[in-house]
């Protein structure tokens, strides 16, 4: 095995942890190959692996994020427009909070500061959909081509979606109070210990917020992986079913979670033969179009703009889903 392959297996996939959990499961008298033993192994291994990676990644990303407070991000985006500005906003969205609800306050601040609508929406789409942690976590579950493909298509949806919304001239569809929100133009220069403390606080805060969704997601993934027959999954979401991508998208919208909670479900679905595009559509719908975030967004934009946002992102997700289902063989 090559050194990069060994690092990927032992550091990202944590094969050592899988072997350890296997030994523990056997020590309890359970067979890891049985349904019950396999479910226990899946749950324990994935929960520990996700929380280890989650803590390390959030700390690292939050430390980097401390150099990009909202005021600095706003100044970077200020004075830009068009697809170039949407691209910059989408890229900056990758180093911001992980769920759509926590991104909306930043969206309000950017809009109040006078940034173009397309730029703020590119940021709003990218922030929950794509982050640096998703690259590592996806690679730990699947492989690097899939991880990079997810990030690439996520950025594409954010850039094109933001650019299109910006060109529709719907600035009058933003709630009036948003424009009146005071903008504080200050940057606090943090010392290294303060950045470390900030990163630790982010780890604690985000883990406290996402742990229920991780446990639920891993539990569902374990059930799918060990209890639901592949034939049943194939009949509902098989690559040969034209409705698989739309159904996965619709199922994902009511769920409030993030990529950390959806990964175990995605892993189990792919193992059962569900198309990569269908799985990506589900993950993107959960992270970018969750019902709670849409309810929050409705409070700051009017229905026509909200409907446009949902329509643009949905079309992007469906297009990506169908496309990746057609080329799944290139990744798996």
pLDDT in tens, 33-46: 898 998 899 899 98
Question: What pLDDT is attached to residue 222?
Answer: 84
Q: Which two tokens stand for residue 136?
A: 């590592």
> Is 321 in contact with 280 (CB distance < 8 Å)?
yes
Question: What pLDDT is attached to residue 27?
Answer: 92
Question: What pLDDT is attached to residue 272?
Answer: 82
> With DSSP H G I counted as helix, E B as strand and the rest as coil, what are the percentages for the chain, rounded to 5?
75, 0, 20
> Is 111 in contact with 179 (CB distance < 8 Å)?
yes
Question: Which residue has 């719908």 as its token pair?
Answer: 285
45-73 pLDDT, tens digit per residue, is: 988 988 888 788 778 877 877 776 666 66
281-294 pLDDT, tens digit per residue, is: 888 888 778 777 78
Task: From residue 72, give the alpha-carbon distance in Å to each of 92, 126, 190, 200, 272.
Answer: 11, 18, 13, 22, 45
Average per-residue pLDDT for the chain: 79
Which of 146-150, 233-237, 242-246 is predicted with the least confidence, judged by mean pLDDT? 233-237
What DSSP state is assigned to residue 301? Answer: B
* Other CB atoms within 10 A of residue 304 CB: 12
Question: What pLDDT is attached to residue 79?
Answer: 61
Mean of pLDDT values over 199-226: 82
Question: What pLDDT is attached to residue 293?
Answer: 75
Residue 186 φ then ψ, to 5°: -135, 145
Which of 1-5, 242-246, 252-256 is predicted with the least confidence, judged by mean pLDDT? 1-5
Mean of pLDDT values over 150-156: 86
Whether 149 has a pLDDT exceeding 80, the answer reads yes
Instruction: Find, among 43, 39, 53, the residue nearest to 11 by Cα.
Output: 53
Q: Which two tokens stand for residue 162?
A: 């933001």
**Of residues 21 and 85, which shows the higher confidence score?**
21
CA–CA distance, 106 with 87 (Å, rounded to integer): 17
Question: What pLDDT is attached to residue 89?
Answer: 81
Residue 174 φ then ψ, to 5°: -90, 135
Q: Which two tokens stand for residue 300?
A: 């700051």
Question: What pLDDT is attached to residue 25?
Answer: 92
Mean of pLDDT values over 261-284: 83
Q: Which two tokens stand for residue 227?
A: 């209890």
DSSP H or E run through 88 = helix 82-92
Q: Which two tokens stand for residue 62?
A: 């939050």
Whether 23 has a pLDDT exceeding 90, the answer reads yes
Mean of pLDDT values over 96-113: 65
**Residues near 177 by Cβ (< 8 Å), separated by ≥ 6?**
none
Whether 4 has a pLDDT exceeding 60, the answer reads no
Q: Is the pTM of this model over 0.75?
A: no
> Is 92 in contact with 62 (CB distance < 8 Å)?
no
Q: How far apart are the first and last CA of the chain?
A: 19
Q: CA-based angle 108:208:257, to the nearest 5?
A: 60
82's torsion region: left (phi>0), alpha (psi -120 to 50) or beta? left
CA–CA distance, 4 with 324 (Å, rounded to integer): 26
**Residues near 83 by Cβ (< 8 Å), separated by ≥ 6?**
159, 163
Whether 320 has a pLDDT exceeding 70, the answer reads yes
Residue 301 φ then ψ, to 5°: -130, 155
Whether 118 has a pLDDT exceeding 90, the answer reads no
> Is 183 in contact with 230 (CB distance < 8 Å)?
no
Directed axis angle between helix 117-129 and helix 276-288, to 10°?
A: 120
């Amino acid at each position: 095995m090559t050194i990069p392959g060994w690092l990927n297996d032992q550091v990202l996939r944590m094969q050592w942890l899988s072997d350890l959990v296997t030994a523990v499961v056997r020590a309890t008298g359970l067979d890891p190959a049985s349904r019950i033993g396999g479910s226990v192994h899946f749950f324990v291994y994935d929960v520990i692996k996700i929380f280890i990676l989650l803590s390390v990644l959030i700390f690292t990303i939050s430390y980097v994020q401390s150099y990009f407070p909202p005021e600095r991000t706003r100044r970077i985006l200020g004075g830009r427009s068009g697809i170039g500005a949407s691209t910059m906003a989408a890229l900056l969205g990758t180093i911001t909070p992980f769920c759509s609800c926590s991104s909306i306050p930043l969206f309000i601040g950017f809009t109040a500061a006078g940034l173009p609508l397309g730029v703020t929406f590119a940021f709003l789409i990218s922030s929950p959909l794509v982050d640096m942690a998703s690259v590592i976590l996806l690679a730990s579950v699947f492989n690097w081509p899939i991880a990079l493909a997810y990030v690439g298509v996520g950025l594409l949806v954010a850039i094109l979606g933001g650019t299109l919304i910006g060109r529709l001239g719907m600035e009058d569809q933003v709630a009036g109070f948003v424009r009146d929100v005071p903008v504080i133009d200050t940057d606090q220069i943090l010392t290294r210990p303060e950045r470390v403390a900030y990163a630790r606080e982010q780890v604690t805060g985000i883990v406290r917020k996402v742990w229920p969704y991780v446990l639920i997601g891993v539990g569902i993934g374990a059930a799918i992986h060990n209890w639901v027959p592949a034939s049943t999954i194939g009949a509902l979401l098989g690559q040969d079913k034209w409705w698989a991508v739309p159904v996965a998208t619709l199922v994902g919208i009511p769920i409030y979670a993030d990529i950390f909670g959806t990964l175990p479900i995605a892993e189990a679905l792919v193992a059962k033969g569900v198309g990569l595009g269908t799985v990506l559509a589900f993950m993107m719908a959960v992270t970018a179009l969750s019902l709670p975030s849409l309810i929050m967004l409705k409070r700051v934009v009017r229905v026509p703009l909200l409907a446009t946002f949902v329509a643009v992102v949905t079309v992007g997700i469906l297009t990506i889903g169908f496309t990746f289902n057609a080329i799944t063989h290139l990744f798996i």
